[in-house]
Amino acid sequence: MRYGKYRFVASFLAIPLLLYIVFVVSPYLQAIYISMTDWRGFSPNRNFIGLANYAELLGDGRFWRAMWHNALLLIVVPVVTLGIALFLATMTTVAGRRGSVGHGGVRGSRFYQVVFVFPHVVPLVIAGVLFGFFYNPEAGLLNGLLRLVGFDWLTRAWLGDTTFALPAVMAVLIWSFVGFFYIVLSAAMKSLPTDVFEAAVLDGAGGFRTFVSITIPMLTDSLKTSYIYLGILMLDCFALLQVMLPDGGPDGSTEVVAQYLYRAAFTEGRFGYASAIGVALCLVTLVLAIVVLRMGRRERVEF
């Protein structure tokens, strides 16, 4: 595999690559061009204005505010989601009953596997609608439960509260994604070689030590890929927010870049500017992917 290997690989991929170029790359190139025009979207008239849209974007407070909300999502949701997924996967795959390290999980794992995956089966849009009812201040389940246990001081108009609206949305995202990453990480854990675990046990490592020193390092690749995947989802989040808080939340505290982009295009009729936002978002996404992939590079373990 030295000489001409790329050509060799590409020959297999010619047709999908062609489709990809036509349907993905070319719209992107068009978007970059449109982002340098003042196109309003519903006529062929457009003038080339260079980087004026980008200059405006740099000074657009609402854009940066939306970007900040995406950044918060990007920090909180993947960490919590992967943390929970990792914990659950560990408990049901390698937590091992006494004397069977690296095999099977705690008692009832089969049942738990089904339960954990269930939220992933519910489409995000439907989850958004359901949680809308859940957060309903008067008739909602959440405040109802809080009142039941006497925590009346905790009840709030969750989606109408500038402090809690975004965390409330994050909770829905976490609830929805844990199932999928639970599957991913469980599968990754099951493919770990058992001899390493056995060696760790022989060396006298306990459950927690094994988890920190063996499981996590061997899952680095899966975790990185999961983080990138989740990160890309967090930089979007359009569907859920459009269902739950279509107008940007209380005092605009939950508006994300994708919603701002949509609004620039369809309510302001500024498709040129909206394209500039899209291109900026794409750059951020690529940078994120590259940074995460390069993070913590070390000698790779292949098994």
Partner 1 sequence: MNRPRPGLDRRQFLRHAAVGLFAVSSAGVLSACATSGGGPTTAAQGDVSAQNPLGVAADAGLDVVIFKGGYGDEYALFHEELYKKAYPQAQVEHTATTQIAQEMQPRFVAGNPPDVLDNSGAQKIDYATLAAEGQCADLAPLLDAPTLDDPNVKIRDILLPGVLEQGTYDGKFLMLNYVYAAFPMWYSKPLFEQHGWQPPTTLDEMMALCEQIKTAGISPWAYGGTNAADYVFDLSLGMAVKQGGPEVAKKIDNLEPGAWQQDVVVAGVQAIEEMVRKGYFMPGSEGLKHTEAQTAWVQGKAAFYVSGSWLENEMKGIAPPDFTMTAAPVPALDSGSALPATALRTQPTEAFIVPARAKNVNGGLEYLRLMMSKEGASKFAELTASVPSVKGADAGAAATPALQSVTAALDAAGSDVFSWQINTWYVNFWKSVLQQQLGNLLAGRIDANTFISTVQSESDKLAADQNVPKFKR
In whole angstroms, give the CA distance from residue 265 to residue 244: 20
139 binds partner 1 (CB under 8 A): yes
245 binds partner 1 (CB under 8 A): yes
Find the binder of partner 1 among 64, 80, 175, 252 (CB under 8 A).
252
127 binds partner 1 (CB under 8 A): no
Find the binder of partner 1 among 12, 43, 99, 107 (CB under 8 A).
43
Find the binder of partner 1 among 152, 198, 203, 221 (CB under 8 A).
221
Stretch that binds partner 1, among 109-117, 177-185, 188-196, 258-266 (CB under 8 A): 258-266
If the CB atoms of residues 38 and 72 are measured against partner 1, the closer one turns out to be 38
Residue 81 CB-half CA count within 13 A: 33
If the CB atoms of residues 42 and 153 are measured against partner 1, the closer one turns out to be 42
Burial track 73-100 (b if 16+ CB lie within 10 A, e otherwise): bbebbbebbbebbbebbbebbbbbeeee
Residue 219 in tokens? 């899952």
Q: Which 147-186 residues touch partner 1, going by CB under 8 A?
A: 156-162
Its sign, for the CA torsion 182, 102, 228, 12, is: negative
DSSP secondary structure, 31-100, as one string: HHHHTTB---SSSS---B-TTHHHHHHHT-HHHHHHHHHHHHHHHHHHHHHHHHHHHHHIIIIIS--TT-
34 binds partner 1 (CB under 8 A): yes
Residue 291 in tokens? 């940074």
232 binds partner 1 (CB under 8 A): yes
Stretch that binds partner 1, among 42-50, 119-127, 189-197, 198-206 (CB under 8 A): 42-50
Residue 213 in tokens? 């020193």
Q: Please, what is the minimum distance in Å from the beta carbon of residue 85 to partner 1? A: 18
Q: Which 263-302 residues touch partner 1, going by CB under 8 A?
A: 263, 265-271, 273-275, 277-279, 281-282, 285-286, 289, 293, 299-302
Q: Which 74-113 residues touch partner 1, going by CB under 8 A?
A: none
If the CB atoms of residues 111 and 133 are measured against partner 1, the closer one turns out to be 133
Token pair 């008739």: residue: 139
93, 190 contact by CB (below 8 A):
yes
Residues 6+ apart with CB under 8 A from 92: 105, 106, 109, 112, 113, 116, 186
If the CB atoms of residues 118 and 266 are measured against partner 1, the closer one turns out to be 266
Q: Please, what is the minimum distance in Å from the beta carbon of residue 112 to partner 1? A: 29
Q: Which 46-65 residues touch partner 1, going by CB under 8 A?
A: 62
Q: Please, what is the minimum distance in Å from the beta carbon of residue 138 to partner 1? A: 5
If the CB atoms of residues 177 and 273 are measured against partner 1, the closer one turns out to be 273
If the CB atoms of residues 100 and 163 are measured against partner 1, the closer one turns out to be 163
Nearest to 132 by CA among 72, 164, 162, 172: 172
If the CB atoms of residues 95 and 159 are measured against partner 1, the closer one turns out to be 159
Token pair 């095999």: residue: 103
